[in-house]
């Protein structure tokens, strides 16, 4: 295995240009999958009747920091399986990155919780718990599985997006959260064998098919969120 394969620097979502450190940073963020999670939060916000666009931006930024940066940096440090991105960063650098970005996410969240939407608090606490339980595999790794991945980064973002707009949760948004949880579950079920095949270099045909499925899921989810946002802007 080459060094580049070992760092997953040839992943489809990593740019083919720029210095290696830049490319690794982009890879660490897993932008298509982070984009899915942000899209779920935006879709949750759009399910509300009256939209406060500053809150749409806030919840998107919260998940960009908490998942895109903090959770992925924490996963590189905390997972029992060695993460290749760590070849380019020290454990201390990754922990600082995770802590600073998580602090930023919670600073935004606490502001809205205190002044506008206290119902966001239990969702924020749950997401914080899952960030540590999943990525650092605490409690014997009990929460490091596909089901809890789907709950934490597929279902809860929709509830968070709706709650930050309305300070309520209703049946409709719970139904939407179940649907996005299923999408997230499918994504992780495709991602695990895909990663193993890319690491091993075995069965490139299957790896290519799995990669195609991941592209459809991630880009499709982001496109749906963008389309719904456009419709909301036009007709609001």
Residue 163 lies in a domain: yes
Residue 204 lies in a domain: yes
C-alpha 216/C-alpha 196 separation (Å) is 20
C-alpha 95/C-alpha 109 separation (Å) is 21
Q: What is the pLDDT of residues 169-227, one digit of tens each?
A: 999 999 999 999 999 999 999 999 998 888 888 898 999 999 999 999 999 999 999 99
Residue 170 lies in a domain: yes
C-alpha 211/C-alpha 205 separation (Å) is 10
Residue 16 lies in a domain: no
Residue 45 lies in a domain: yes
pLDDT in the model for residue 231:
96
pLDDT in the model for residue 4:
47
Residue 100 structure tokens: 């600073």
* pLDDT, the chain, mean: 92
**What total number of domains does the chain contain?**
1
Domain that holds residue 211: 33-235
The answer to whether 8 and 75 are in contact (CB under 8 A) is no
Residue 114 structure tokens: 């205190």
pLDDT band for position 3 (cuts 50, 70, 90): very low
Q: What is the pTM of this model?
A: 0.94
Residue 159 lies in a domain: yes
Residue 3 lies in a domain: no
């Amino acid at each position: 295995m080459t060094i580049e394969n070992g760092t997953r620097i040839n992943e489809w979502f990593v740019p083919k240009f720029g210095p290696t450190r830049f490319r690794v940073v982009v890879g660490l963020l897993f932008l298509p999958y982070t984009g899915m999670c942000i899209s779920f939060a935006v879709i949750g916000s759009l399910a509300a009747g009256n939209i406060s666009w500053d809150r749409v931006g806030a919840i998107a930024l919260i998940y960009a920091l908490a998942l895109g940066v903090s959770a992925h940096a924490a996963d590189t440090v905390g997972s029992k399986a060695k993460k290749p991105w760590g070849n380019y960063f020290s454990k201390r650098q990754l922990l600082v990155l995770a802590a600073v970005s998580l602090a930023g996410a919670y600073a935004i969240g606490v502001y809205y919780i205190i002044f506008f939407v206290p119902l966001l608090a239990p969702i924020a606490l749950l997401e914080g718990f899952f960030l540590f339980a999943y990525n650092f595999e605490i409690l014997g790794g009990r929460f490091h599985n596909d089901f809890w991945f789907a709950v934490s980064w597929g279902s809860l973002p929709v509830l968070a997006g709706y709650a930050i707009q309305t300070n309520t949760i209703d049946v409709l948004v719970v139904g939407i959260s179940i649907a996005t949880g299923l999408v997230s579950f499918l994504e992780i079920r495709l991602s695990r064998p895909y990663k193993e095949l890319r690491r091993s270099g075995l069965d490139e045909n299957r790896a290519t098919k799995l990669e195609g499925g991941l592209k459809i899921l991630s880009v499709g989810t982001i496109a749906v969120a963008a389309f719904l946002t456009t419709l909301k802007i036009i007709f609001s």
